[in-house]
Structure formats: C-alpha cells, structure tokens
Amino acid sequence: MEKIDYTSRHHQIALYAKALAHPARVAILEFLAARECCFFGNLHDVLPIAKATVSQHLTVLKESGLIQGEIKPPQVRYCINKENWDVARDLFGVFFNDLKKIECS
Amino acid sequence: MEKIDYTSRHHQIALYAKALAHPARVAILEFLAARECCFFGNLHDVLPIAKATVSQHLTVLKESGLIQGEIKPPQVRYCINKENWDVARDLFGVFFNDLKKIECS
DNA sequence: CGAACTGTTCGTATATTTGCGAACTGACAT
DNA sequence: ATGTCAGTTCGCAAATATACGAACAGTTCG
C-alpha cells in the first residue's frame, strides 16, 4: 500500500476547521453572520475575554480568510468574507455529505 | 451590551472543528468514509506518519465521537460513528447556511 | 512456553495556542 | 501639543498539540 501525501483539500479543510476550533471564534462568526458587519467594540462588549484576546482571535479568523476587517477611523469594522465562507461551506458540505457506505457490523 | 457565555453549541462546533483541524485526521476520516471500516494497519500503511502518531490521531477522533474502534484480535477495526457524524454535519450545515444578510458595503 | 504480529502507551522534545496586562499606534478633537 | 478613544502589538506564562522511538500488552501460532 502506498503512502499518500495530504492533499491541498485536506490542508484547506484542516485550516478552516482550525479557525472554528475555539468557542470564541465560533461565537464571533455567529455574531458577525447574524447582524451585519460590526465593530471591534461590539464584539469585545459581548465576549467574556480581554480585548487583546479578542484581537488575537480576530487575527486568526482574518488569516483563515473567513472574515475581513476594514479600518473606519477610529474604529475597525469586521465582516464575513462571503467568498471564502462559501468555499468553506462547500468543503465541509462535500466532506460530510459524500459518505456512501458506512454501515459497520 | 451584555457579555455572553459561549453556548453548548459553540463548544460542540469548536470540538468537532478541533477534530478536523489536522490534515492527518481529515485524511483518516476521508479514508474511513470511502472504504468501509478498516484496520489500523491500513491507515498506517497509507499515512506518512509513525504508527504512534497515527494512534494518537485516532484517539483524538475517538474522543471527538466521530469514529469508533472495535477490537478484532489481533487487529483493531475503525469506522465512522454515523450518529455523531450526522450531528456534526447538521451543526456545520446550520452554521454555514443560516447566513442571511452579510452584504457589507 | 516462546516468537510473531498488531496496536497502544510512555517519555520526551518542540511548537503552537490561549490568555492577559501593559505599552503602543493612529486618528481626531480640544 | 495634549488628551482621548479604538484597537493592535508586545512580552510573558501556562496549557495543549504534534511527533517520534522505544517499550509494553494482548492474541495467536508453532
């Protein structure tokens, strides 16, 4: 049997999953998705963590591509990056739905 | 604005996401989903990592609930845990699809 | 019994993640 | 120029994750 390398799909799914792998980031994304875009302050007001930590989580989400930030002095407005969001949705959709034969005795 | 606590949904999504947050584990799940259940050795043969590491990843996946292992001496047979798999699929499905208004100027 | 085979666990090293307060930056107002 | 407001970055500590070889454990077979 041949060793396989991880495909770029494997890596992409893992990266998006890593972005979702913390409750704070799930909450942030849900918050952004529910209202329209919102400011850092709104997120900080709502989350039970220090602003430095909020900023860190937002950086992780930005780097994953799932959100984007826009500086509107003196505030920063964040919103979902719809393009990449759709990519992630499709990746997870295919991943979870293309299971054919799983029955296991 | 009131601080919110992370909901159990947030935690659950984060936990399943964490299980998917490594290419090896994505590859394992894909492998299990494609063929029927299979043995540790099959996975080890295919993955580019040491068997101790494979075992560790399998433990993570077992703890997440996404897979289950059954001892069939002298081998161990792994397969997807369909119940929890469906739970995860639904969680991610709702999470990614219930976005209404994201347009951002 | 002992050898062989399959997988897990242990011990360890290194890297990444998470969290916070304090210090900083940039824009704007006074 | 000084102060203020909104966020980011820095520096650090603690916890978790990743990886491996070596040692171990359970079955089966000679």
| Residue A19 CB coordination number (10 Å) | 24
Q: pLDDT tens, A48-57? A: 999 999 999 9
C-alpha distance from residue B25 to each of A11, A20, A84 (Å): 10, 15, 22
In tens, the pLDDT along B32-62 reads: 999 877 999 999 999 999 999 999 999 999 9
Q: Which residues 6+ apart lie within 8 Å of B96 measured at CB?
A: A85, A88, A89, A92, A93
B21 touches strand D (CB under 7 A): yes
Contact A66, A88 (CB under 8 A): yes
Q: Which of A57, A82, A66 is nearest to A15 (CA)?
A: A66
Buried-exposed string B36-51: b where 16+ CB fall within 10 A, e elsewhere: ebbebebbbebbeeee
Q: Which of residues 8-27 of A touch strand D (CB under 7 A)?
A: none
Using an 8 Å CB-CB cutoff, list chain A residues near B9. Answer: 26
Residue in the block written with tokens 């047979």: B77
Please compute the mean of the pLDDT values over residues B65-69 and round it to a whole number: 97
Cβ–Cβ under 8 Å, residues A13 and A19: no
What is residue A100's predicted lDDT score, i.e. its pLDDT? 53
Measured CA to CA, the distance from residue B87 to residue B40 in angstroms comes to: 25
User: Which residue's C-alpha is at the least distance from the C1' of D9?
Assistant: A52
From the CA of A45 to the C1' of C24: give the distance in Å: 22
Which residues have CB under 7 A from strand C? Answer: A 18, 21-22, 24, 49-53, 56-57, 60, 73-74; B 39-41, 44, 51-52, 54-56, 58-59, 69, 74-76
Residues of chain A with pLDDT under 70: 1, 99-105
Tens of pLDDT along A16-33? Answer: 999 999 999 999 999 999
CA of A74 to C1' of D18 (A): 41
How confident is the model over B96-102, as a mean pLDDT? Answer: 66
How confident is the model at residue B101, as a pLDDT? 43
